[in-house]
A and B are shown apart, each in its own frame.
Chain A
Amino acid sequence: MRLSCRLLFTLFLGVCIGVNVSAQSEVNGTTSLSLDAQLDEELRALSIDKTTLAQGKNKYILYCLACHAKDLSGGNGFNLKDGVWVHGNRPSDLFNSVSRGFLAQGMPSFKDILSENDRKQIVAYVMSKREGFDNLTYEVYALDSNDDTSLVGKTPIKTGKLHDNLMDFTIPEIKEFGVVFEGDFYTYNDQPTRFRMGGRAFDLMTLEIDGESVEKLWKKGWNPTWLLKPGKQYIKLTYLSSKNPDYLDTNFLGYVTPEDGSIKYFATTARAQGLMANRTYNIEAKAHPVLQRKKIHKLPAGTISVGLPEKVNFAFDPSKCAINALWVGDFLNIGPNIDRRTGDPSLPLSEFIFFAPNGISPSQGNCEYLGYARNQNIRFNYLLNGIDVSLSANSLEKHRISFIFEIKKLDVDGENKKMTFSLPDIPSLKYLSEDGAIDELGWSFYPKENTSFKLDVLVSKDSS
């Protein structure tokens, strides 16, 4: 039965699913509810187990990435980290979604492709990536006046569930209101994150985490912000509109950010989600290299980034004449940097292999940046200790990038000064050069000895 089903996979998958599902419930026999509850428990435990997550991640990349994206943000398939669950939000629902698939909508059943254990690992991994609220509810209260600052003794005039798990501040619909949003909340385990609300500092917006009220990170000013616990927690946000001037737009923005607030990880309110959705503007190198001079997350101001069609990308800091970042894969999403007032940085579409202050940078002397030329290739021009240098890059094979330093003019005294460049000490990188020496100090050559010097950087395949 199983075997034939596999053989007929492409032709009769739908039928097989039907058979399997009914077979499963026959075997399960007893009430599936308690079994689901058991599965929920098991998956919850797995979702905080490091080894399971590492294995789940690898399998996710192999079997799910194509439709759900590397960061789970979705593509052909749904977003798997937000609060919207069409086929159920319980861990067992996710497991069943993966097992059964949605053939008509384009997702195969994984029951015969992956073992039960594999599916559990993947679901645990997906659960661990969850962002934002779950089982979010609201209560709306009517306040007596602009001076009324308490909900004590009041009963809500409206309550309900928010199925997209985003706080929606348009729900109250009355002038003087109190609103309470509460539900489970997920944020990252591996770094501190903040819960930030947009707009004016509201005395009357408070936050409880796991039943305890939390102090705002700053008392005055705009954007009330609280520090989150890692991972899963229970959040209750209370807001009273009293004492606010009339002009205040109470349809607030809300985001989770890293500790330094430099970027927005995900939205917590419906309005913020709407804005986040329009923040993708990916730049891609097709036939020729592309160049973007934009604010980029983690890189210094003024940095210029280059994407090669071979999907090797680097950045150049004109103030130091240094190659100050390297990444392999898709190039850059400038969306956040060209949105509204342009406060947020562009996001590289894969992880940096190295980034500033690490870099391939001149170890001594001064540099004066002159500009760049763009033809088929891109060439940065600068004076390094008085020597007129041009830097270009190409990638003749995958995971290999060559930086070519051309000496356009020696300095006036024509002295044969050694040039040395620091090389980031990264296990996944290997450096090769026939035009200079590589040692623990970096890469060095004598500019008088040739007109062009090439440095090859090899990126090990697992780092991308």
Chain B
Amino acid sequence: MKATLFVSKSLVVSVLFTFYSAFADNSFTAPKGYSIETISLPENTKMNIAGLDVASNGDVYAATRLGEVWVLKGGADISNTTPIWRRFADGLHEVTGLLVDDDSIMVAQKPELTRLVDTNSDDIAEQYLRVVKGWKFHNNYHEYHYGPVKDNEGNYYAALNLAHGGKTSLAMMGSDGGWRGWMYQVNTKGEFVPYASGLRSPAGIGISPSQELFFTDNQGDWIATSKLHYVEKGKFYGHPASLIDHPDYSFDKVHNMTAGDFAALAEPPTVWFPHREVANSPGNPVWDTTDGQFGPFAGQMFIPDYTFSSIFRVMLDKVNGQYQGAAMNFMDGFQSGNIRIQFDDNGQLWVGQTARGWPTRGNKPFGLQKVVWNGEQAFELQNIKLTRAGFSLTFTDTIDETSVVPDAFSIHQWRYRYSKEYGSPKLDEQIIEVTDTVLSEDKKTINISLPLTPNRVLSIAFDGIAANSQQTPSTTELFYTLNQVIH
């Protein structure tokens, strides 16, 4: 018989107010071979890190919500056992994004995208230069500013959070104009280009090694659960408040539209992150570009989560030319709210942390940690791809043949509602039977067959699967966003 199915009856209210119940159990997950190291911080300052990047010389830059930028000189250099902290900048307005850009540092502070230049190489910025004008900040606490990331052509991308409430709100989050709820580009001429709309609280933006742009957004009004989007210029990603700045719309027009009208315009999320199961407040996506220095997940996407104080993995799957894919927990047990991660050139994954204003599982107010891999091979799910008949799940090591039976899997699916309500319950929740399992010749891949319905999120649990070595995976459940089946 299958493992008993947890059918969520959670009302919107419990979605809102029971963050902690997800943490009732105190155990932590980490794949074999991975461990967390804690970095000591400068004393007597509030190091709520919300911007993080590593320079090619190993200097680790951290920007804080207090408004400072600190650099850990040679922090990513493994031979340097006593790296020192220097305060690079201060007096900024709640920095929630940082990019090391050649010889200068770019920060996204609430009112401005700013370039910090250290003109005399003393590790203290002398120039605080405005990078671009064209958008507005209205002193609303929720008008955060995320990014920037830079593409190979030299364009920058950053994202503007909506305001909390306000006259123009259609539900909870609103915009007082000035391109709130948009991703913008600063092109190579230095011009402000509104790039994509419909963003709510896009706390993480990232650009892949193949130059594709993604952002994560947080559950809330119009957003059923947290999610990842692949971004294309001119498209709309779901939160209507941003449309008041769109040249084809107006305040009145937007306020006369229905949820159905907005739904017709909106792009489907690339990957949903079910609330209280994978992520409640995702940060920035990064790609494992370490060529195996960080283990068997080379090329894959990792994302931190603030509430869970965790890092999870995203496995993208291109189906009919469109991205969709799966999310699953990678590691938790971090000391504070994980909001920024970044790989260095030595295969270490740095984690910038803050806990303030919203609950986090890790109980420290802020911090900096890193994840290191000691080379030990773990038995984990490596990747998942949609097939015509079901899914193909690849593991990092050979699988015990006898464990590969339909009963090793338990699968259920549901969909979400698009509405102005805060979050969505799971709708049309349904148990799905696996009808067949086939193990590949190299014994690393299992093909499962099951009935497929588009526009569903599937929870795929594989508790029964074990390695030949009898190791079992540290995480045995993933969430696949099935926007489309293969045509």
Contacts and interface: CB of A to CB of B under 8 A. Distances in A.
A338 interface: yes
B65 interface: yes
Contacts of B92: 293
Given A293-B91, A374-B125, A301 B137 contact: yes
A247 B126 contact: no
A371 B139 contact: no
A340 interface: yes
B14 A371 contact: no
A301 to B, nearest CB: 4
A21 interface: no
B91 A291 contact: yes
A341 B357 contact: yes
Contacts of B112: 293, 302
B139 A342 contact: no
Contacts of B358: 341
Interface string A275-295: 000000000000000111111
Interface string A351-389: 000000000000000001111111100000000000000
Given A247-B17, A338-B46, A340-B356, A372 B137 contact: no
User: Which of B46, B133, B358 gathers the greatest number of chain A CB atoms within 10 Å?
Assistant: B133
A245 interface: yes
A420 B28 CA distance: 65
B56 interface: no
A290 B92 CA distance: 11
B141 interface: yes
A194 B94 CA distance: 29
Given A301-B138, A342-B141, A294 B128 contact: no
A248 B138 CA distance: 31
A318 interface: yes
B114 interface: yes
Contacts of A291: 90-91
A230 interface: no
Nearest to A291: B91
B235 interface: no
Contact of B128 (A248, A301, A371): A371
Going nearest first, the 8 A-B pairs with the smallest beta carbon separation are A341-B357, A371-B129, A247-B17, A301-B139, A302-B111, A291-B91, A343-B141, A293-B93
Interface of B: 13-14, 16-18, 46, 65-67, 90-94, 109, 111-112, 114-115, 125-130, 133, 136-139, 141-142, 356-358
A290 B136 CA distance: 25
Given A340-B356, A369-B130, A371-B128, 12 more contacts: A247-B14, A247-B16, A247-B18, A293-B109, A294-B93, A301-B139, A341-B358, A370-B130, A371-B115, A372-B127, A372-B128, A374-B126
Contact of A293 (B13, B46, B67, B127): B67
Interface residues of A, number: 27
A294 B114 contact: no
Given A338-B46, A341-B141, A371 B91 contact: no
B18 A374 contact: no
Given A247-B13, A293-B67, A371 B114 contact: yes
A117 B247 CA distance: 70
A243 B385 CA distance: 48
Contacts of B14: 247
A173 B136 CA distance: 47
Contact of A318 (B66, B127, B130, B141): B130
A339 to B, nearest CB: 8
A245 B13 contact: yes
A292 B356 contact: no
A294 B128 CA distance: 15
Interface of A: 245, 247-248, 290-295, 300-302, 318, 338, 340-343, 345, 368-375
A415 B356 CA distance: 53
Given A245-B13, A293-B92, A301-B138, A370 B357 contact: no
Contacts of B93: 293-295
A338 B125 contact: no
Nearest to B11: A245
30 contacts: A247-B18, A248-B17, A290-B91, A291-B91, A292-B67, A292-B91, A293-B67, A293-B91, A293-B92, A293-B111, A293-B112, A294-B67, A295-B139, A301-B137, A302-B137, A318-B130, A338-B46, A338-B65, A338-B66, A338-B94, A342-B357, A343-B141, A369-B133, A371-B114, A371-B115, A371-B127, A371-B130, A373-B126, A374-B125, A375-B126
B107 to A, nearest CB: 11
Contacts of A374: 125-126, 128
A247 B19 CA distance: 11
A295 B90 CA distance: 15
Contacts of A292: 67, 91
B357 A340 contact: yes
A318 B129 CA distance: 12
Contacts of A341: 141-142, 356-358
A371 B128 CA distance: 6
Given A247-B18, A295-B139, A342-B357, A301 B65 contact: no
A342 B358 CA distance: 11
A277 to B, nearest CB: 16
Nearest to A262: B139
A368 B132 CA distance: 11
Contacts of B65: 338, 342
A291 B90 CA distance: 8
A342 B137 CA distance: 14
B70 to A, nearest CB: 16
Given A247-B13, A302-B137, A342 B18 contact: no
User: Which of A290, A301, A345 gathers the greatest number of chain B CB atoms within 10 Å?
Assistant: A301
Nearest to B109: A293
Nearest to A344: B141
Contacts of A375: 126
Contacts of A370: 129-130
Nearest to A368: B133
B438 to A, nearest CB: 46
Contacts of B17: 245, 247-248
Contacts of B111: 293, 301-302
Contacts of B94: 338, 342
Contacts of A369: 130, 133
A220 to B, nearest CB: 13
A248 B94 CA distance: 30
Contacts of B130: 318, 369-371
A328 B67 CA distance: 24
Contacts of A247: 13-14, 16-18
A371 B93 CA distance: 14
A373 B127 contact: yes
Contacts of A345: 139
A373 B138 CA distance: 24
A372 to B, nearest CB: 5
